[in-house]
Structure 1
Amino acid sequence: MHHGPVGLRLIRPRDARTLQRELLTNRAWLQPWEATIPGGASSFDMRVSIRRLLQQHRDGTGHPFVMEYDGEIAGQLNIWGVSRGSLCSATIGYWVSERFAGRGITTTAVAMATDAAFDQLGLHRMEICIRPENQASLRVVRKLGFRYEGLRRRFIHIDGDWRDHHAFALTREDVPGGVLNRWVQGLVPPDAGAVPGES
């Protein structure tokens, strides 16, 4: 999938070295937002992680992508927690390298991934959960018009502790013309993604 210089493609085993280098180079930038395992080690092996992600892809429970900018790996986006049956829902998580921040890469990639989830994967609902302090990610859901659905207290273990998250979602019916198309055409409602009580 491509839109302008932004690309989104399935992760490959040979991406491991580049992704691991980006994660290590961007430790200070990413650590406040990274999921951690309670009482677990913080080290990781990207090759093992990619193998697990691709197994989830084969199982249909996840869809792991790399985000590219002008053909260069800029970050990672995962559609995870895919539920079928009467729910047909999933969650998006992502990270982008600091040197690529501010170029609209994440916003474009989330829009493309959500459109693919609805149109190609047959999902009905896409969710994104964001820490209240993560202003950059909050801008992404506001730009794309994800609807605020509430606060999940101590929801995910992030940076060494259980953290509150705002939950946002879109359903297929919310965006009949597609998420990317609605954003590019300036059709996102101005108050979309607003968190009650916040300006």
Structure 2
Amino acid sequence: MIIDGVEMREIRTADAAGVAEALDRNRAYMAPYEPRRAEEFYTEAGQRGRIEELLTARADRRARPFVLLAADGVAGTITLQNIVRGALSSGAIGYWVDQAWAGKGLATAALHEVCRIARDEERLHRVEAGTRAENLASQRVLAKAGFEQYGLAPRYLHVGGDWRDHRLFQLLLNDEPPAL
């Protein structure tokens, strides 16, 4: 799928170098909202391992990881993960976009597409996402995609040297009964 000149496709291990370079380039930009990471996270080897884990989860139908590719390299990633079937029929979405793409609608468009995939291909009832309470830009992205806040998780994630509150959002995709 092409979104404003950016290709969104399922991630591959061959994307590891580009993802690592983009994450390293955006390290300071994302620091207020991301947990502290080991240096290996920002390397090709670290991302290859992470992508391999996501692809294993994909094979087990527990995740759908995507990369956003612009003409000049990786513009971000978005992942439908923690997929639970049965009575819950739910998944969680995590995403980031390169600072150069922030505020241009790429995250919102990618989120819309992943929600369509969650509904039409994965047949999920709902998806959820969380943001730091202060991350108003990400909350705007979620609101534009139709998500509603349903809770606050106090001291949810350790970011920037302290436990930070997170706002929790969900989007109900359908009311079909889950597959047996």
Same fold? TM cut 0.5: yes
- What is the match of residue 166 of structure 2? 165
Q: 1:93-117: per-residue Cα shift (whole Å, max 9, x none)?
A: 0111111212111000001000110
Moved over 6 A (4+): none
**CA RMSD of the aligned region, Å?**
1.9
Equivalent-residue separation in structure 2 for 1:82 and 1:36 (angstroms): 25
The verdict on how the C-alpha distance between 1:119 and 1:101 changes in structure 2, with shifts beyond 3 A counting, is same
SS for the counterpart of 1:32 is: coil
List gaps (5 residues or longer) in structure 2. Answer: 176-180
- Asked if the contact 1:66/1:73 (under 8 Å) is kept, the reply is yes
For residues 1-199 of structure 1, the aligned pairs below 5 Å read: 1-36=1-36, 41-44=38-41, 45-69=46-70, 72-173=73-174
- What is the match of residue 190 of structure 1? none
- Asked if the contact 2:119/2:174 (under 8 Å) is kept, the reply is no
AA partner of residue 51 (structure 2) = I
Q: 1:25-48: per-residue Cα shift (whole Å, max 9, x none)?
A: 1110012222347xxx45321111
What is the Cα deviation at residue 72 of structure 1? Answer: 4.2
Equivalent-residue separation in structure 2 for 1:136 and 1:30 (angstroms): 12
SS for the counterpart of 1:118 is: helix
Equivalent-residue separation in structure 1 for 2:48 and 2:117 (angstroms): 26
What is the Cα deviation at residue 172 of structure 1? Answer: 1.5
SS for the counterpart of 2:127 is: strand
TM value normalised by structure 2: 0.87
Equivalent-residue separation in structure 1 for 2:103 and 2:172 (angstroms): 27
SS for the counterpart of 2:32 is: helix
SS for the counterpart of 2:170 is: strand
Q: 1:65-110: per-residue Cα shift (whole Å, max 9, x none)?
A: 1123458421011111111111110110011111121211100000
- Asked if the contact 1:6/1:108 (under 8 Å) is kept, the reply is no
Equivalent-residue separation in structure 2 for 1:9 and 1:105 (angstroms): 14
SS for the counterpart of 2:174 is: helix
The verdict on how the C-alpha distance between 1:4 and 1:14 changes in structure 2, with shifts beyond 3 A counting, is same
- What is the match of residue 178 of structure 2? none
What is the Cα deviation at residue 131 of structure 1? Answer: 0.8
What is the Cα deviation at residue 173 of structure 1? Answer: 3.4
- Asked if the contact 1:13/1:51 (under 8 Å) is kept, the reply is yes
List gaps (5 residues or longer) in structure 1. Answer: 175-199
- Asked if the contact 1:155/1:164 (under 8 Å) is kept, the reply is yes
